[in-house]
Structure 1
Amino acid sequence: MKKIMISGVTALALFTGGIVGSGAIGNSVQAAQATLKFKDVPSTHWAAEAINSAVEQGYFKGYADGTFKPSSPVTKAEMASILGRLADQPDAATQEQNNFTDVPDWAKSGVSIAIKKGFISPSKYNGKLDAQAPLQRGEMASWLTQGLTVVDPEYKQALSDVTNTVVPVKEYFTGKLASSQKNAVAVALGTGLMSVANDKNFGTDRTTTRAEVAVLIARYATVAKTKPADFQGLNELREVGLTGTNLSVIAPKYKVIPESKYPESYDYSKVTGEFSKIRNQELVTKTNYADIKVKNWIVVNPYVEGDARSIYYPAFVDEKNKPLRGAYYSFAEFEMNIKNSMNQLQGGSLIQAVAMNPVISPSSKAVSDYSIPHINDLLGAKGVFIVKNPVYWGKGLLHFDNELNPEVFLTLKDGTIYRVRPN
């Protein structure tokens, strides 16, 4: 990112409002030196390097008492002004007018520029930005991902693709992730712009701090220079949103069984390798205890590290656990309509697919920490379901060893057959 030189008047407009004291930093060298001397930003602080950079580039200043106050919240007006100064951010093709009536004079220009650059869309507000309120992380995700759509139209497509995805944050699994922020949170996670906290929540309603903003400025610059397709996590989230599974990203060897493997008399027109065609559709069951659908199917390769690791790994798998003989973990989200009464074992007899087991849910600490719906929460005495329409996640294994039945074979009531195996 280019370094930004600011005048004294512009700096006043950018950093007033209680965020800057007198005795501000004069130039980039002094800025870097002064940041190292902030009483509350030791070299071991998690954001020390980002704070150094943000101060050096003129996005922040320290306070007169020698502190930076890294944990202090940033207001919407302050953040908008900072985003408006991102020199590498292009202007949006469609320009909206700044019709906010509650923006203080010092921030009006900065807010207008942030709108011009596509970070803020006034049409999504009702004439008021609530400019002097602390910016919450959910709204931050929305602003940043909107900005990315201006940089590269493919990010706009990504925001659309994740509408029906599984978002690996606790709020998603507990039903507390607002639909208005879900897509932005997914893209922010998938690109590495933002992450979950130690409590596994994204924290959409938590305020954004000065230290976090310093980090986000640097991250945004990096993401904006990267194609959406280069982020495996985002690819997974998009695939799950569009098809219901991340299989093609994590286990691309799994393909539809070709027509040549069937007898000539077989009606191959019913066979598909597209999971989207069976997602949320009623499956043929081996017993008649309940109707069953698969809402989502998540596959995790437990043998890779770093960026090659599934974005869903932290939500489903504990570090120490690895299955035998090279199998991948397989997690299916089931939705059932129990006809009369059904116990746990009877539920397991509905479909017999090694990769999708309705009898058990994953028992990892991760699943507990993320509050992923578990079969045990739905069972009463003698393992009988106490909910007529349970929705929960089951655990299976995706095998590659022919001796362990690697095929995934599901049939819909309309005759459609989903049949894939590793090639």
Structure 2
Amino acid sequence: MKKIIVSGITTLALLTGIVGGIGAGNSVQAAQTTLKFKDVPSTHWAATAINSAVEQGYLKGYTDGTFKPSSPVTKAEMASILSRLSDQPNTPNPATNNFTDIPEWAKSGVSTAIQKGFINPANYKGTLDAKASLKRGEMAVWLTHGLATVDSDYKQALDDVKNTVVPAKEYFTGNLAAADKNAVAVAMGTGLMSVGSDKQFGTDRTTTRAEVAVLIARYATVAKAKPVDFKGLNELRQVGLTGTNLNVITSVFKKTAEFKVPLGNRTYEDVTDDFSKIRNKEIITDTNHADLKVLNWIIVDSSVSNNERSIYYPVFVDEGVRLQSGRYFSFVEFGLNIKSSSMSQLQAGGLLNSATFNPLLSPQSKAFLSYDVPKISDFIEKRVFIIETPVYWADGLLHSKQSPPRAVTLQTKEGPIFSVSYTP
């Protein structure tokens, strides 16, 4: 994997690439403008990144002494900036720049950005809409496709997260477009991009000059790392592939020993610790009020340090909340097909006899409510379900140090039995 170095640009690029205040100057010019922007005080959230980007020749200020950090960046401008990542490798078989709407000054930059893997003309219909402001969803696509050119495992990651749970409000409200989802997941999993204070990723929001300065620096850092180095990305990939992040969060749960699994008329060969084998399959319930499927299972360890937290922590758990050692938060997305004409919330809780998989209650944390995650109360009135096929998230606990130890077991109607137990 090649290193990505943020570097200056050639004299030719200097002469042709300054458009709308986005361009480059030599290091002397950059140094002269550093810390002299009237609208970028040292307290500005992106001041360091802006000054660095100017020093490196990616951006420059305006003649009136401003930087205009909140001004949007066009697609043509961003393509030209990305083309200047001098050590970004080219794709093996780069596509042809067949866009018909590229300004003359940006044609070379767009062609180079295509060669470097950031832009795929196949995703467009002959025009880039080059003068339009670049939105964050499309920015995520460009940057993660660039990472996929650097390291094929990033390309694999983009595929692995296809069915993942994305920790952004748009995902839970159904407003995250399929065309953006994989890129948003990888961008968030690597820390390249994140949600705002409103919990939205903001796929339709324009990208500002300040954000571009920050993203260029972050991209250089992420591109030097391997995908496996990012715990958040590991979680997103595992949830995408299996439906759970259990094995990323903790290694103390293993396949339950044969003599501890209630097999009935099954054999131990039916037992698995691979959650994907039971994901989205009908689970045998204790009552016959509803058919039940487990769509996703998220584990959060509240005892670890902040930098070791699950990427899902901010979605489900309030800051400062901690469980006792040996206990994990368990959040389960259930899909029900209610058979009764008036199934109650209490009867939902009786479907499974499990503290870990408990469809009775949804989380009540402020975090959970702020993300607009589907919850059981969205589908009931007077504790009776008013929707026949609700899909919602429920709250549970996973214990690693129970006495006596209990296996966590789910048996499907089709055959596989998922069962794991604490194994020190």
TM-score, normalising length: structure 1: 0.95
Retained in 2: the 8 A contact 1:35–1:41?
no
Amino acid at match of 2:8: I
Give how far 1:376 is off: 1.1
Pairwise CA distance, 1:3: 2.7
Match of 1:361 in 2: 362
8 Å contact kept, 1:292–1:336: yes
Q: CA deviation at 1:74?
A: 0.3
- Root-mean-square deviation (CA, aligned residues, Å) is 1.7
**2: CA distance, partners of 1:169 / 1:139:** 16
Letter paired with 2:194: S
Q: Residue 338 of structure 1 contacts residue 389 of structure 1 at CA under 8 Å; is this kept in 2?
A: yes
Alignment of 1:57 with 2:64, yes or no, is no
Is the 1:35–1:62 Cα contact (8 Å) retained in structure 2? no
Q: Distance in 2 between matches of 1:117 and 1:421?
A: 47
Hey, what does 2:13 align to over in structure 1? Answer: 10
CA contact (8 A) 2:293 2:336 kept: yes
Runs of 4+ off more than 4 Å = 260-266
For residues 241 and 24 of structure 2, what CA distance do their matches in structure 1 show? 49
Partner of 1:351: 352
* CA shift for structure 1 position 377: 1.3
Tell me the equivalent position of 1:387.
Answer: 387
* Residue of structure 2 in register with 1:186 after alignment: 185
> 1:319 offset after TM fit, Å?
1.2
CA-CA distance at 1:251 after TM superposition: 1.7
1:191-230, aligned counterparts within 5 Å?
A: 191-230=190-229
Instruction: Give the structure 1 partner of residue 144 of structure 2.
Output: 145
Return the alpha-carbon distance in structure 2 between the equivalents of residues 163 and 3 of structure 1.
34
Q: CA deviation at 1:323?
A: 2.4
Residue aligning to 1:84? 83
Show the counterpart of 1:300: 300
Do the aligned partners of residues 285 and 312 (structure 1) sit closer, same or farther apart at CA in structure 2, a change above 3 Å counting?
same
Structure 1 residue 305 displacement after superposition: 2.0
Question: Residues of 1 paired with 2:24 and 2:229: CA distance?
Answer: 38
Provide the C-alpha distance between the structure 1 equivalents of 2:141 and 2:85, rounded to a whole number of angstroms.
17
Following superposition, the deviation at residue 421 of structure 1 comes to: 0.9
The residue identity in structure 2 corresponding to 1:3 is S
Pairing of 1:250-399 with structure 2 (within 5 A) = 250-259=249-258, 267-340=267-340, 341-381=342-382, 383-399=383-399
Q: Deviations over 1:99-119 (max 9, x none)?
A: 000000000000000000000
Q: Corresponding residue for 1:168?
A: 167
Q: How many residues align?
A: 417
Query: SS of the counterpart of 1:183?
Result: helix
Aligned-residue offset at 1:325: 4.7
- 1:240-289 deviations in Å (ceiling 9; x for gaps): 00000000000221111133657999721111111000000000011110
1:124-182 deviation line (CA, Å, top 9, x unaligned)? 10000000000000000000000001100000100000000000000000000001110
Q: Deviations over 1:184-232 (max 9, x none)?
A: 0000000000000010000000000000000000000010010001100
* Alpha-carbon distance in 1 for matches of 2:259, 2:377: 43
CA deviation after TM superposition for structure 1 residue 5, in Å = 3.7
Structure 1 counterpart SS, 2:314? helix
Q: Is the 8 A contact 2:303 2:325 kept in 1?
A: no
Give yes or no for contact 2:327–2:399 (8 Å, CA) kept in 1: yes
For residues 338 and 219 of structure 1, the distance between their equivalents in structure 2, rounded to whole angstroms, comes to 47
SS in 1 for 2:392: strand
Pick which of 215-224 and 406-415 moved more: 406-415
Q: Residue type of the partner of 2:270?
A: K
Show structure 1 runs of 5+ residues with no match. Answer: none
Aligned partner of 1:153: which letter? S
**Unpaired runs of at least 5, structure 2:** none
Alpha-carbon distance between aligned partners in 1 of 2:415 and 2:89, rounded to the nearest angstrom: 51
Q: How far apart in 2 are the matches of 1:210 and 1:87?
A: 20
- Would the aligned equivalents of 2:141 and 2:183 in 1 still touch at CA under 8 Å? yes
Is residue 6–residue 220 contact of structure 2 (8 Å, CA) maintained in 1? no
Output the CA distance in 1 between the equivalents of 2:35 and 2:271: 63
SS of residue paired to 1:61: coil
Partner of 2:47: 48
- 1:91-110 residue pairs with structure 2 within 5 A? 91-110=90-109
Hey, what's the Cα distance between the residues in 1 that align with 2:113 and 2:270? 51
Contact 1:137 1:208 in 2 (8 A): yes
Q: Is the 8 A contact 1:32 1:53 kept in 2?
A: no
Q: Distance in 2 between matches of 1:406 and 1:61?
A: 62
Taking a change above 3 Å as real, the CA distance of residues 404 and 397 of structure 1, as seen in their structure-2 partners, is farther
Query: Aligned to 1:402, what secondary structure does the other structure show?
Result: coil
Identity of matched residues, %: 62
Q: What amino acid is the match of 1:352?
A: N
- Give the secondary-structure state (helix, strand or coil) at the position aligned to 1:70: coil
Alpha-carbon displacement from aligned partner over 1:311-342 (angstroms, at most 9, x marks no partner): 00011100132223531100000000001221
Change (3 A) 1:348 1:101: same
The separation in 2 between residues aligned to 1:376 and 1:5, in whole angstroms, is 57
Q: What letter corresponds to residue 349 of structure 1 in structure 2?
A: G
Q: Deviations over 1:39-80 (max 9, x none)?
A: 010111111111111001110110001000000000000000
Task: Give 2:360's aligned amino acid.
Answer: V
Report the residue type matching 1:397 in the other structure. Answer: L
Distance 1:14 1:66, change over 3 A: same
Instruction: Work out whether residues 243 and 275 of structure 1, in 8 Å CA contact, stay in contact via their aligned partners in 2.
Output: yes
Amino acid at match of 1:19: G
TM-score (ref. length: structure 2): 0.95
Contact 2:9-2:84 within 8 A present in 1 as well: no
CA distance in 1, matches of 2:122, 2:9: 32
